[in-house]
A and B are shown apart, each in its own frame.
Chain A
């Protein structure tokens, strides 16, 4: 791998590594709360990636100045900001939904371990 290219795109690379950490957490833990934490890691990684795509060096946030209007070349792209906003709202909703389902599962099976829950559920079906 070309290390220089990775160093130039270090924010994106960090986002990818964060995504991988979240994915590993999701796969390796059997505790449902930890799986949700891993999922939130992956969400944050996607937001970091999107936000870094919109950044342009030396430009400011897209807020116009009333007294002296600045040209479009003075601002960073506003589109990733809007996309990340959408993403954060959806991620909050999904996290709340997952936690609520976990609470219900815990009240029914008295455990947070996914393997045990599956085991108990299979025995209930029989």
Chain B
């Protein structure tokens, strides 16, 4: 069933004009084949009208897209020149971030200062968008998997049932520790250089996905199950929300942190930025891996 569906998915992706060729193709999975045939006969009568309206629709959409491009290009003509320092974008806001970020936030990476100290509320919302999207994907894909397995208990040829590919397995065994370590480095180094929770979390998520593909779902399920996912994301998001709520409660401006500020440039510095980076990295890593697992198997 699943293989059939996959083939169907691939073939309908490959078709240049899916409508016509899909109706003619042999593997039509429709339950009401008789009604479909009747439809086709009806469609043959309406074919000419449909084709004309399709042509009109296509030309109108090409013209609309061209008009959008031209209008926007006309706007580009009035933009300030590319790469010059006197843009109106370079106003006192970015100047303030650049001038006093190091004293006020404590992180050498001024972008990290901006997204996790000055505008940390924004980043909390971002993590929550990711979390909400993952929740919706779970709602959409997890439940249907249960129903399907209840209807057809026939074992699906899941990738974990396939024999292990030695090249992939060895490659993953060699690469994955390096990838995960690199992700951790990016997260922990987020306030000292380019990096941070989002990019490091994405790298770690990619490492977990490689591990899952190479070693199968059972083995990764030993240390990363649905329960781990829920707990990690919940802990990270609530830690972030509580620490930011506390900092807002205490005035949100030069928060008197119980975390010692440390010397800028040391790994234990910049106050809350390092813990917040770790929290964001956890959320991103778990949701990236969760997206992949849900799309592949319908379960984490």
Chain A contacts for B295, CB-based, 8 A? 99-100, 103
In the complex, the answer to whether B122 meets A86 with C-beta atoms within 8 Å is yes
Question: Is A85 an interface residue, CB under 8 A from the partner?
Answer: yes
Which of A5, A53, A116 interacts with B19 by CB under 8 Å?
A: A116
B262-287 interface code vs A (CB 8 A; 1 in, 0 out): 00110000000000000000001000
Whole-angstrom distance from the CB of A79 to the nearest CB of chain B?
5
Question: Is A125 an interface residue, CB under 8 A from the partner?
Answer: no
Which range contains the number of A residues in contact with the other chain? 35 or more
Question: Is B126 an interface residue, CB under 8 A from the partner?
Answer: yes
Within 8 A of A (CB), among B125-162: 126-127, 129-130, 132-134, 136-137, 140-141, 144
Question: Is B291 an interface residue, CB under 8 A from the partner?
Answer: yes
Question: Is B8 an interface residue, CB under 8 A from the partner?
Answer: yes
In the complex, the answer to whether A97 meets B137 with C-beta atoms within 8 Å is yes
In the complex, the answer to whether B73 meets A104 with C-beta atoms within 8 Å is no
Question: A79 with B129: in contact, given A1-B77, A33-B13 (CB under 8 Å)?
Answer: no
Instruction: Count residues of B near A (Cβ-Cβ below 8 Å).
Output: 71
Question: Is B79 an interface residue, CB under 8 A from the partner?
Answer: yes
**Cα distance A110–B108 in the bound complex, in angstroms:** 53
Q: How many A-B residue pairs have CB under 8 A?
A: 189
Which of B12, B82, B109, B291 interacts with A63 by CB under 8 Å?
A: B109
Interface of B is mostly: helix
Whole-angstrom distance from the CB of A86 to the nearest CB of chain B?
5
Question: A112 with B97: in contact, given A78-B111, A82-B114, A100-B140 (CB under 8 Å)?
Answer: no
**Cα distance A71–B99 in the bound complex, in angstroms:** 7
**Cα distance A72–B94 in the bound complex, in angstroms:** 9
Question: Is A96 an interface residue, CB under 8 A from the partner?
Answer: yes
A21-32 interface code vs B (CB 8 A; 1 in, 0 out): 001100110110
In the complex, the answer to whether A62 meets B19 with C-beta atoms within 8 Å is no
Which of A9, A55, A101, A112 interacts with B76 by CB under 8 Å?
A: A9
A50-89 interface code vs B (CB 8 A; 1 in, 0 out): 0011111101011111100101110101111110011011
Whole-angstrom distance from the CB of B260 to the nearest CB of chain A?
17
Question: Is B242 an interface residue, CB under 8 A from the partner?
Answer: no
Whole-angstrom distance from the CB of A57 to the nearest CB of chain B?
4
Question: Is B176 an interface residue, CB under 8 A from the partner?
Answer: no
**Cα distance A94–B64 in the bound complex, in angstroms:** 24
Chain B contacts for A31, CB-based, 8 A? 12-13, 15, 18
**Cα distance A2–B15 in the bound complex, in angstroms:** 41
Chain A contacts for B84, CB-based, 8 A? 56-57
Whole-angstrom distance from the CB of B32 to the nearest CB of chain A?
9
Which of A1, A90, A99 interacts with B73 by CB under 8 Å?
A: A1
**Cα distance A88–B115 in the bound complex, in angstroms:** 14
In the complex, which residue of chain B has the Cβ closest to the Cβ of A89? Answer: B126
In the complex, the answer to whether B66 meets A20 with C-beta atoms within 8 Å is yes
Question: Is B165 an interface residue, CB under 8 A from the partner?
Answer: no
In the complex, the answer to whether A97 meets B136 with C-beta atoms within 8 Å is yes
Whole-angstrom distance from the CB of B135 to the nearest CB of chain A?
10
17 residue pairs bridging A and B, Cβ less than 8 Å apart: A5-B76, A9-B82, A16-B76, A19-B72, A56-B83, A56-B84, A62-B97, A78-B94, A86-B126, A89-B126, A94-B133, A100-B137, A103-B141, A103-B295, A106-B5, A113-B12, A116-B19
Q: Which residues of B contact A (CB under 8 A)?
A: 5, 8-9, 12-13, 15, 18-19, 22, 29-30, 58, 61-62, 64-66, 68-69, 72-74, 76-77, 79, 81-85, 87, 89-90, 93-95, 97-99, 101-102, 108-111, 114-115, 119, 122-123, 126-127, 129-130, 132-134, 136-137, 140-141, 144, 193-194, 198, 264-265, 284, 291, 294-295
